Structure 1
């Protein structure tokens, strides 16, 4: 029966892995995905909002992102937001749409993205280890019998190893995807 401390620790580690995978999704692989632009802030209606909150985002093919604002008045703001984000994309306003063609990726650019993926993976592993540390601290404060404490400590380590391995597996997949020339 998993202990409450193990469950809390596992939940924190799961959040860390989810965050890492979300960061991986935002890395430009040469294939268009809505995640590349959906969280870019746009100045619209007198406040800052994300593109996904004011427009529909689609990818008609692997080299193009099409953004269709629900209000035509924010088209220029969406285009400007993408340019300000400085993610290497050049939006083109086309009537009621903003088209964002993806440039071909050079070998150097691919290597840069691999380094970024490694950094995100390391940050994810650090977050998992911090969750383990927090769980072990909570365990020490719980003042449980020594045999139960040791068992829970082993469970926490097993969960830590599982989540770390998950991050490494996804990093390898992302690296393969980034280095793959289409």
Structure 2
């Protein structure tokens, strides 16, 4: 196989893996009924004038399936953490007891579960679009190469096989997430 084609295939696979990694991160933000520290992974807190991820200014854990406990390293951060959680618009109502911030995660309604499943499918579609764009770029790069028609055709077949494999992985991830969301 031509070195240029191998390079194109390798870089395309890297791009497709990046799309899957991004999808995993997006799916972590979609809650599935029980409390998880990952639900707050997108929260940023102002800490001495700089915007800092919540997990770098506090311990975030789940004492039970319906509660998230946030223990800040400095008590003065409690109001700032509460404000950041409310501004993130995640549907949580933080409370503090003077020592830590506590979030009671309400059980999901059937309607909310369907909305979250739809959101997961939309994230999956975004990942598929990214993978298809990677395929298109790779196909265009292969066509620009000055190689035989057989090599070009084989490379296109390999790129399509790679695309199919990653699209299937996206479908599997979405199926698992939907099942997780819809389980009461």
Q: TM-score, normalised by structure 1?
A: 0.94
List alignment gaps of at least 5 residues for structure 1.
none
Q: Which of 45, 54, 64 is the equivalent residue of 1:51?
A: 54
Match of 1:170 in 2: 173
Assess if the C-alpha contact under 8 Å between 2:70 and 2:102 holds in 1: yes
Moved more, 50-59 or 12-21: 50-59
Structure 1 runs of 4+ with >4 Å offset: none
Q: Partners in 2 of 1:152 and 1:94 — Cα distance?
A: 62
Aligned-pair RMSD on alpha carbons? 1.3
The whole-number CA distance in structure 2 between the counterparts of 1:64 and 1:143 is 60
Matched with 2:15 is 12
Counterpart selection for 2:41 from 16, 32, 38: 38
Deviation (angstroms), 1:107: 0.5
Measured against aligned partners, the alpha-carbon deviations of 1:51-82 in whole angstroms (never above 9, x if no partner) come to 12211211122211111112222111111100
Q: Secondary structure at the match of 2:35?
A: coil
Q: For 1:90 and 1:142, how far apart are their aligned partners in 2?
A: 57
In 2, the alpha carbon distance for the partners of 1:85 and 1:158 equals 40
Post-superposition offset of 1:133:
0.8
- Report the count of equivalent residues: 181
2: CA distance, partners of 1:46 / 1:20: 31
**1:145 CA drift (Å):** 1.7
Aligned equivalent of 2:77: 74
CA contact (8 A) 2:29 2:41 kept: no
Q: Distance in 2 between matches of 1:70 and 1:145?
A: 63
Equivalent runs, 1:1-182 vs 2, <5 Å: 3-181=6-184
Q: C-alpha distance in 2, partners of 1:76/1:85?
A: 14
Tell me how far apart the structure 1 counterparts of residues 121 and 19 of structure 2 sit (CA, whole Å). 15
| Whole-angstrom CA distance in 2 between matches of 1:139 and 1:52 | 44
Residues 131-168 of structure 1: CA deviation (Å, up to 9, x unaligned): 11111111122222211111111111111001100010
CA distance in 1, matches of 2:124, 2:110: 21
Question: What is the DSSP-based 3-state SS (H/G/I as helix, E as strand, rest coil) of the residue aligned with 2:33?
Answer: coil
